Structure 1
Amino acid sequence: MPDGNMTAPDHFDRAQFTAMQDGTAEDYAKIQAHDREFAKHSVDRVLSHLNLLAGDHGGFRIDRLTHSLQSATLAHRDGADEELVVCALLHDIGDTLGCFNHADIAAAILKPFVSEKNLWIIENHGIFQGYYFFQHLGLDRDMREQYRGHPYFQACADFCAKYDQNAFDPNYDTMPLEAFEPMVRRLMSRPKRSIYMKPARQAAE
């Protein structure tokens, strides 16, 4: 006979619909409760994914994780604010999944937590970084000029110049991931925006 102390099967704590249009308030309350618990561990998943960059040199002198750490170290030692340091740390986190659009993946992860300026920097750093090497691949190194006049053009150019294109030094005293983990946790503890929030202009109306 079943043990009387057995907990209810897991499916009893799940929504019962098979199409979202048929869900009830009770169903979505269950889902929201699970979402809140799942979100508590989002930083752990982000850091685990960042660690996937370890050991992959991609032809460079240092692996992709060390490049990310070195980029963040340069930003931190330059006096950049914590948000930009975390952006530097995570700017290439999409390398393992988005070989052709890695910047988009990093931007999607950071979007709920960063300013419009820092989001634009991460979204566009790939093209701005091309200023330093596109000419060797038969591409136009000045591709970034299409954004000339944008209010964040110089900020993105500076990010690449100071924290990205020069972060490939195997002899640099790069800070460990543990030094940046508290920064990531603070930044990602509360989103500034989400798809469920009205844009600021709409909310004010």
Structure 2
Amino acid sequence: MKDGTREDYLLLGRLEEAYVAELPERILAALRGLANTLSGYRVSRLEHVLQSASRAEDDGEDEEMIVAALIHDLGDDLAPHNHSQYAASIIRPYVSAEVSWVIEHHGLFQNFYYIHHFGGDPLERERYRDHPCYQRCVDFCERWDQASFDPDYPTRPLEHFAPMVQRIFSRRPFDPEIIGEAPDEQARS
């Protein structure tokens, strides 16, 4: 890289800009891929995230949280043991720090419902009890994540959410007007 010229990097910058502009379509393609993942549930992983997003929308959530609910399990295929952090890293540049925190921690908070069957501690999330986003993550898991395995729920198709995905992932990354102050910093202020 040290031998690159200004012209080389201007060209690469233009090519990268065009590639980044296609991010919403790659997100939608990755979501479609969830139709053929982890079996054993009454709905596919795609149906689960569509149902989570539908429930968030039905509850009157804003577009950031609806899209977050849609992509929250996007990491299941490639990062099964840290899928929450994977999904959060994808959405973090485009949403508020609060939404990013909820997605990053939802896997740990979701353990509340089942980890005792594997000898784990369902109350591990309590270490975040004083965090400003604690209740928001509890609500995310209770209302939209753990509840979204119902094959009879009126779930909207991916096409319904595509314009939202387009808007969120076309934002200027790390825009301070959008991401705001980190929740940990809010607690110290």
Give the TM-score normalised by structure 2.
0.90
- Give the unaligned 5+ runs of structure 1: 1-19, 201-205
1:57-100 deviation line (CA, Å, top 9, x unaligned): 43211110000000000000000001000000000011111111
Aligned to 2:19: 38
Shift in alpha-carbon separation, 1:61–1:179, aligned structure 2, 3 A: same
The equivalences for 1:1-205 within 5 A come to 20-193=1-174
Matched residue type, 1:30: L
Matched residue type, 1:189: S
Runs ≥4 in structure 1, deviation > 2 angstroms? Answer: 55-58
RMSD: 1.4
Q: Is the 8 A contact 2:37 2:77 kept in 1?
A: no
**Structure 1 residues 104-113 or 83-92, which shifts more?**
104-113
Pairwise CA distance, 1:56? 2.7
Output the CA distance in 2 between the equivalents of 1:157 and 1:146: 13
Pairwise CA distance, 1:108? 1.1
Output the CA distance in 1 between the equivalents of 2:49 and 2:10: 39
Q: Is the 8 A contact 1:53 1:93 kept in 2?
A: yes
Output the CA distance in 2 between the equivalents of 1:185 and 1:111: 15
Q: Percent identity?
A: 46
Output the CA distance in 2 between the equivalents of 1:22 and 1:83: 41
Output the CA distance in 2 between the equivalents of 1:155 and 1:132: 16
Which one has the bigger helix percentage? 2
Give the TM-score normalised by structure 1.
0.83
Q: Is the 8 A contact 1:60 1:168 kept in 2?
A: yes
Q: Is the 8 A contact 1:71 1:88 kept in 2?
A: yes
- Give the unaligned 5+ runs of structure 2: 182-189
Matched residue type, 2:39: G
